[in-house]
Structure 1
Amino acid sequence: MCVRQWPPVASEDSKINSLVDAASEGDRRSIARLLTLVERGGISAEIVAEATHPLAGKSHVIGITGAPGAGKSTLTAYLARDLAESYHKPAVLAVDPSSPLTGGAILGDRVRMEEASGAGAFIRSMATRGHAGGLALAVPGMVRVFDAFGFDPIIIETVGVGQVEVDVASAADTVVVVVTSGWGDAVQANKAGLLEIADLFVVNKADRPGAKDAKRDLELMIDLSQVTGQAVRRPEIIMTTATEGEGLDELQKAVSEHQQFLLQDDQISLRRSKRWKAEVSSRLEYLLLEISKNSIENIEENQSSPPNSVANELLKKLLNKDELH
């Protein structure tokens, strides 16, 4: 099995270059087609990556994650709408298990996303179903497309708090973790993953009973996690009621302040360097996994040989190859 064909056929290269040229002129249909190519993966995704990488790196990327039902979609939609109305050029990548957007979101969230789109935000939904390990490759690539063509900020919204969602949210410059008043019982179970990636916390549905308790729980968790002498920025906690528009100005201000913090002492370069290495690692793991699958399918079965010995021999053969093909 070929992991990739390289160099690509000229017609494919030419087609994508034409899309890039049109996208550079602001053609949203061409941008959408480039996003689709990246999401599908394969040769075309690699060509898009080659074309967009030199153009990207200027936009602020915001990751929004949290437990299902926390109101992330409402918060994201209103935030994108307000940013668009204040002369920004936001894009939203909604990582949704049942994409397209109309398939997984409730009616109210769809309407709010449409309002954000109508205000000028670019809304794109991406299915997690069927991606498996490829998700870690597709999301940074799609963010890069938005970045290359001037969308700023770029918001990544994920659907839950599992490892996949944590990995995706960690592809952002600023990570916002959304919780609700009913989240207190799950704090201890979830804090390890969430506390490590959160730059900001949002207690949404702050008009409900228990919201102040949730904020207090978070403050205690943050206090316990602070390491003496470690130069880290304490995550701010914002209280919002997204459906009423309450707290959104404070959230925008907190996100902007975190961006300024990252720009100080070149913190953002350190964070993006770490992300770049993580993306290289994900790509390498993906390529090696695809090649190893092919090798296993084609080996002569000899169950008298210990599996570890067979695996070691296959690895030696792979490492002796001049290139991945």
Structure 2
Amino acid sequence: MKDWIEGIKNRERRAIARIITFLENDHADSEFLVQELERLAKKAYVIGITGPPGAGKSTLIDCLITTLREKDLRVGVIVVDPTSPFTGGAILGDRVRMVRHALDENVFIRSMGSRGSLGGLSRATKDAVRVLDAAGFDVIIVETVGVGQSELEIMHLVDSVALVVHPHSGDVVQVFKAGVMEIADLYVVNKADMSGAAKMVAEIGQYVHLTHDQTEWNPTVSQTIPIQGKGVVELWEQFQHHRAFLQESGEGIRRRKEQTVREVKERIAAEFQAYLEQCIQESTFQEQMEEVWQGAKLPHSFAREWIKSHLIRRDREGI
């Protein structure tokens, strides 16, 4: 494992890939590895790209990588794809996307399966970001599945969120209702050469004016045409403006603290879930459940009594 850490320091692609897989599989030694990664953390700028399927997120990211590399920035990309019901892996792989950057040693692209996560992000995505940060990538891009309201989870992982839509996405009001609009720090009307682009830009601008306090950050609306290379440089400039806002206002620190609290809660919930799965296999649980099945005890009261008794037992046993 020490060799892996050295590989991370040297930004070796094989070591990076192995560690991400190791953490994704939730190996017993993952905690030690995460601790070592935290010591190497350099606090990369992490941006999220989200939006409905067909919005052109991957093509936009491909062009954004080109822009960042022209500025000599090292780029890591995590693409969270739907999980195959047969293999458990990502249905869409990174080799299908962004192939022209595959041989660039300063670009690392990884596809991860969402594994049923309702938020469109796999549980290991946070750790994958840690790996890329420790490896010294300057900018880390996280692209999510694009499944509507469940995209809200991305705001708990990145520094800045860009919502990508295209002129034929439908009535933007429906997107407002889904709640996705509320998480965006930047809006991107992609494929802006299509008819209806100006109308969508106006609608989003009106939404921003009505819902955001003018004293705080006001999300910008960018127009991009990736296949023509238009608007991507300007989009990166908007990301930079938001990053400066996060640093100067203290909002960046507040967000990272909030994200840490959320991660701790998720880890606690996972530990309790694992303990629960273990306990319900005990014969005493099955015997007590007979009372519930026979109607002698309500599920509600049984659950409270069971939790209370097991917390007392854990306390006595020093678990």
Q: Same fold (TM over 0.5)?
A: yes
Question: Which letter maps to 2:208?
Answer: I
Deviation at 1:236, TM superposition (A): 0.4
Deviation at 1:210, TM superposition (A): 0.5
Q: What is aligned with 2:298?
A: 306
Distance in 1 of aligned mates of 2:217 and 2:96: 36
Matches within 5 A, 1:41-190: 41-98=26-83, 103-104=91-92, 110=95, 113-119=98-104, 120-130=106-116, 135=121, 137-190=123-176
Q: What is aligned with 1:275?
A: 259
- Range with bigger deviation, 140-149 or 116-125: 116-125
Deviation at 1:288, TM superposition (A): 1.4
Q: Over residues 206-253 of structure 1, what are the superposed CA-to-partner deviations in whole Å (9 max), with x where a residue is unaligned?
A: 00000111111111211221247xx42000000001122111010111
Q: CA RMSD in A?
A: 2.6
Distance 1:50 1:163, change over 3 A: farther
3-state SS of the aligned residue for 2:168?
helix
Unaligned runs of 5+ in 1: 1-15
3-state SS of the aligned residue for 2:158?
coil
3-state SS of the aligned residue for 2:137?
coil
Distance 1:28 1:125, change over 3 A: same
Deviation at 1:18, TM superposition (A): 2.4
Q: What is aligned with 1:249?
A: 233
Contact 2:188–2:221, Cα closer than 8 Å, also in 1: yes
Question: Which letter maps to 1:306?
Answer: L
Question: Which letter maps to 2:143?
Answer: E
Distance 1:270 1:57, change over 3 A: farther
Deviation at 1:184, TM superposition (A): 4.0
Distance 1:318 1:260, change over 3 A: farther
Distance in 2 of aligned mates of 1:215 and 1:324: 59
Matches within 5 A, 1:177-256: 177-227=163-213, 231-256=215-240
- Range with bigger deviation, 295-304 or 82-91: 295-304
Question: Which letter maps to 1:34?
Answer: I
Q: Over residues 127-163 of structure 1, what are the superposed CA-to-partner deviations in whole Å (9 max), with x where a residue is unaligned?
A: 1135568956311111011111101100000121434
Deviation at 1:79, TM superposition (A): 0.8
Q: What is aligned with 2:307?
A: 315
Q: Over residues 21-74 of structure 1, what are the superposed CA-to-partner deviations in whole Å (9 max), with x where a residue is unaligned?
A: 222122221111001111112423322212112222521000000000000011
Distance 1:289 1:164, change over 3 A: farther
Q: Percent identity?
A: 38
Q: What is aligned with 1:263?
A: 247
If the length of structure 1 is used for normalisation, what is the TM-score?
Answer: 0.85
Q: Over residues 92-128 of structure 1, what are the superposed CA-to-partner deviations in whole Å (9 max), with x where a residue is unaligned?
A: 00001147999426xxx95651112333310000011
Aligned match for 1:40, one of 1, 25, 34 = 25
- Range with bigger deviation, 27-36 or 315-324: 315-324
Deviation at 1:186, TM superposition (A): 4.6
Distance in 2 of aligned mates of 1:235 and 1:97: 29
Unaligned runs of 5+ in 2: none
Deviation at 1:188, TM superposition (A): 2.8
Contact 1:61–1:154, Cα closer than 8 Å, also in 2: yes
Q: How many residues are treated as equivalent by the alignment?
A: 305
Distance 1:220 1:69, change over 3 A: same
3-state SS of the aligned residue for 1:137?
coil
Contact 1:201–1:235, Cα closer than 8 Å, also in 2: yes
Distance in 1 of aligned mates of 2:32 and 2:120: 17
Distance 1:133 1:171, change over 3 A: closer
3-state SS of the aligned residue for 1:32?
helix
Contact 1:136–1:282, Cα closer than 8 Å, also in 2: no
Question: Which letter maps to 2:92?
Answer: G
Contact 1:206–1:241, Cα closer than 8 Å, also in 2: yes
Contact 1:174–1:255, Cα closer than 8 Å, also in 2: yes
3-state SS of the aligned residue for 2:115?
coil
